[in-house]
Amino acid sequence: MTDDLVPAGGATDDAVSDLTLADLMAEAAEDLAGVVTDASGPVTTWAAGPSVFATLEGGRAEFRLDTQVAAAALRTPDTSSSARGSDWIAFAPPVLDDHAVDRAEAWFLSAHRRAVASLRG
């Protein structure tokens, strides 16, 4: 951890991860059956069947969530609306601390569950 990431008061309870959002999302996808990753262009996408449920461009991830989950997610740090639609959120944390890692993993998995459920009908 670098000194500029530590609050003025001293130590922090939130560890800064060595992972990037790309690492985190790739690892989350490894354990999910039927996920197709396309990293051929400037935007990496993750899909279940034809349904893209997550994207990554630079340090900005986007997740397609249930409407209520998306609304709640927008009240958390480092999130914003996505131009992809009202059920998408954008997440661009300046630092991946424990809380940001937890949110990114949870939203990735939630988006995947939603995509899989839409395939069933």
Q: Where residue 13 falls among pLDDT bands split at 50, 70, 90?
A: low
Name the 3-class secondary structure at 73. helix
- The domain ranges of the chain are 12-120
pLDDT tens-digit profile of 63-89?
999 999 999 999 999 999 999 999 999
Name the 3-class secondary structure at 80. strand
Measured CA to CA, the distance from residue 25 to residue 21 in angstroms comes to 6
Q: Specify which residues 17 forms β-bridges with.
A: none
For the domain bounded by 12-120, which CATH number is listed? 3.90.1150.30
Measured CA to CA, the distance from residue 39 to residue 35 in angstroms comes to 13
Q: How many residues does the chain have?
A: 121
Q: Which two tokens stand for residue 13?
A: 């309870």
pLDDT given for residue 73 in this prediction? 96
